Structure 1
Amino acid sequence: MRWDRQRVGGEGEQAIPGLGGLVRSVTSPEFAGVTFHEVRARSVLNKVPGSSAVPFSWTVNPYRGCSHACTYCLAGDTEVLMADGDLKPLAEIEVGDEVFGTRAHQGHRRGAPTRVLAHWVTVKRAYRVVLENGAELIASGDHRFLTERGWRHVTADRPGPAARPHLAAGEQLVGISLYTTELPARLGVMRVEDLGREIPMYDLTTGTGDFIANGVVSHNCFARNSHTYLDFDAGKDFDTQVVVKVNAPEVLAAQLRKPSWTREHVAMGTNTDPYQRAEGRYRLMPGIISALADSGTPFSILTKGTVLTRDLPLLSSVSTEVPVGLSVSIALLDRELQQRLEPGTPSPQARLELVRRIRDAGLPCGVLVAPILPGLTDSDEALDSLLAEIAAAGATSVTAIALHLRPGAREWFARWLAVEHPGLVPLYRELYGRGSYAKPVYRKQLSARFARLMRRHGLDSNVFRTSTVEPAEPAGALPVQRRDSPAPVQEPLFPL
């Protein structure tokens, strides 16, 4: 979907993906703890920005999770203005509650009722924002409040002029009267204090993209980057809030019939897995596959979901009409580690069996070994065992990618590593420092070792990628990968 069409008044505040076409939000005993937000999308064929380094230009994602890096932002006792005028602690808000947000009206913001679509909790470092009227706000450094100059984070993300917009003494926050729908209040910031400790933090996703916290307009939570480059489950927020574009096959077919469509390669599974658990219920992929094939559009699918087995007869049939690339993501064999990193996904053995079934159907199948984790899955023994199983399953190619930690994913992974494997923190601090990518010397050494092991097992040794760009699918699925995008400059991942 076109994210800019989800903004209010062009001011930059996104709504939940697909909210404009929301049909209903449903739960099912079959998917305990998961809410499906069913939407009617206006577009499902997505153009990849030209600045992106991925080796394809178009994607289709019939499913989306709530994704953004500023999740879990306010203390639980923060008072939220409800639609009926009452106040309720943030920690006690529930999905389905009606609260006050804001909407653009004739160039100005006005208070407006809105529905709570999701609610999260975690632990983050706390900061106190002290206002001139004596009020206080306890929030994480990532949280944003509305000021006269636009949205501002509580704290900077780095020193110097390159820092993100953030609160400072004298900044005027925009407040709302508890008794009208106007936004008359201007609340000056006196100071922002680091409390020096972590506390439980809460946040919401609302229909308007914001809510009123302690009388101040507070930015909505949009969760972490969905199915990040880590190829991990991105956390409870992603796993329990699934946006389903229920009309995806019909919309895609209409878009592909346009005279302007030039039948470029379409990649699926590059952001969210098209064969995640929800596909077993919604069955969107058969229609999507048929639409692509009927239009003569080549396509590829990257998945770790065994639901793909259901569509093998269809995929085998359309492969005679258009080029089809299939690949399965298998990062490791250790079942215990896999369950901690990828909860809710099929086991490595189930994915290896999927490779076998794809090959038995007469289709080529690549395997994406990603991410390779320094100190956890990068030993010769671990890689050799994995490649032996991949070769035995009949994979036609292998692509490997060293761990990439882009913003959103890196914060999550740093916390996970500190809890699960604290002894590895110094190694990661050394390898990643301020960047998203491991040091070139590590990637070069890993590439050489991996190529040697692939030759041992008779696998294609020309597809290893110690990628400095986005992950690509295994050879044969996509064009040659671009390598012209520099890594972004970031703050230290594991600060001293």
Structure 2
Amino acid sequence: MYCFARRTHTYLDLDSGRDFDSKIVVKVNAPALLRKELASSRWAGDHIAMGTNTDPYQRAEGRYRLMPEIIAALRDRANPFSILTKGTLILRDLELITEAAQRAPVSIATSIGSVDETLWRAVEPGTPSPLRRLDVVRRFADAGIGVSVLMAPILPGLSDSPEQIDATVAAIAGAGVVSLTPIVLHLRSGAREWYRQWLSARRPDLLPLYERLYRNGAYTPKSYQREVLQRVEAAKRRHGLARRPANVRLPQDDSPQTGTEHDQQHQLALL
């Protein structure tokens, strides 16, 4: 619904609305190309981040099975990597990822903006439920690989109340997460128009709120972000996450991204 990657479909002469929802481009030779690049004398073994624009564990991955070969190539080269996904299909590759983690740094992250099942069905159709994503956190934790969770996006008027935030943080903490990073919804061109259409059809009462919060661009005002993030931090303290690491920052209202490369990769996931 609000995916940050919507606009990238326009680079392929597809639109960011229905084409994004219904058409996917699959690079079936990706594993072979990766092995070729990794074998090059020019390759310095840099960290490879997967899932920073589109999810590598979308439904099509069940058919094309590209990720096992990609992970195996990285494992064989002992190359560090990270995966950011909403998909539970990553559990299929748990053994491979565990093997890779024994040879090089590996990190896994998923996004869980809310554990409200009704809200999930409305705004994230076609994705695994939050409860299933929590199971991914548990399964990797049991295997000795910690998972970071992006509490993202936090939706104004839909998932930002103290009660909703507390319930979400409690569930994430209970799953054994190693870190939790809250991110308030940002709406750039492509996602902005599509999301507004959804609000108009499903929650027109929230249109004035969104017009006010996003009147200056893609980001909500810093005052609103601070209020929401303070609620998250308070919930983290209540549920034993206060001492676990997190990357929290407030972007400018509509300025270019700043901060570490790790933060920027995670921001791209809004998934």
Counterpart residue number, 1:68:
10
Counterpart residue number, 1:187:
none
Bigger CA radius of gyration = 1
Counterpart residue number, 1:223:
15
Counterpart residue number, 1:272:
54
Structure 1: any 5+ residue segments left out of the alignment?
A: 1-63, 70-208, 210-220, 225-234, 473-477, 483-496
Counterpart residue number, 2:146:
364
Which structure ranks higher in relative contact order (CA pairs < 8 Å, sequence separation ≥ 6)?
A: 2
How far did 1:423 drift? Answer: 1.2
How far did 1:466 drift? Answer: 3.8
Question: 8 Å contact 2:85–2:109 — kept in the other structure?
Answer: yes
Within-5 A mapping of 1:135-214: none
How far did 1:274 drift? Answer: 0.4
CA gap of 1:437–1:65, structure 2 versus 1, over 3 A, is: closer
Counterpart residue number, 2:198:
416
Matched residue type, 2:47: H
Structure 2: any 5+ residue segments left out of the alignment?
A: 1-5, 265-271
How far did 1:400 drift? Answer: 1.1
Structure with greater helix percent: 2
Quote the Cα distance in structure 1 between the aligned partners of 2:173 and 2:239: 6
Quote the Cα distance in structure 2 between the aligned partners of 1:264 and 1:348: 32
CA RMSD of aligned residues (A): 2.3
Matched, 1:448 2:230: yes
How far did 1:295 drift? Answer: 2.4
The equivalent position to 1:254 in structure 2, one of 32, 36, 60, is 36
4+ residue segments displaced more than 3 Å: 465-472, 478-482
Matched, 1:463 2:255: no
Counterpart residue number, 1:401:
183
| Equivalent residues, number | 254
Counterpart residue number, 2:81:
299
Matched, 1:348 2:140: no
How far did 1:256 drift? Answer: 1.6
CA gap of 1:303–1:470, structure 2 versus 1, over 3 A, is: farther
Matched residue type, 1:378: D
Counterpart residue number, 2:165:
383
How far did 1:467 drift? Answer: 4.2
Quote the Cα distance in structure 1 between the aligned partners of 2:105 and 2:80: 5
How far did 1:450 drift? Answer: 1.3
Question: 8 Å contact 2:78–2:100 — kept in the other structure?
Answer: no
Counterpart residue number, 1:338:
120
Quote the Cα distance in structure 2 between the aligned partners of 1:357 and 1:462: 21
Structure with greater strand percent: 1
Quote the Cα distance in structure 2 between the aligned partners of 1:315 and 1:429: 43
Matched residue type, 1:450: V
How far did 1:453 drift? Answer: 1.2
Matched, 1:290 2:72: yes
How far did 1:68 drift? Answer: 2.0
Within-5 A mapping of 1:91-170: none
Secondary structure of the equivalent of 1:272?
coil
Question: 8 Å contact 1:359–1:365 — kept in the other structure?
Answer: yes
CA gap of 1:371–1:450, structure 2 versus 1, over 3 A, is: same
CA gap of 1:471–1:326, structure 2 versus 1, over 3 A, is: farther
Question: 8 Å contact 1:65–1:241 — kept in the other structure?
Answer: no
CA gap of 1:66–1:223, structure 2 versus 1, over 3 A, is: farther
Secondary structure of the equivalent of 1:363?
coil
Matched residue type, 1:464: V
Question: 8 Å contact 1:364–1:395 — kept in the other structure?
Answer: yes
Deviations along 1:340-393, one digit per CA (max 9) or x if unpaired, are: 211111111111111111111111111111111111101110010011111111
Matched, 1:427 2:205: no
Secondary structure of the equivalent of 1:481?
helix
- Calculate percent identity across the aligned residue pairs: 49
Quote the Cα distance in structure 1 between the aligned partners of 2:7 and 2:20: 5
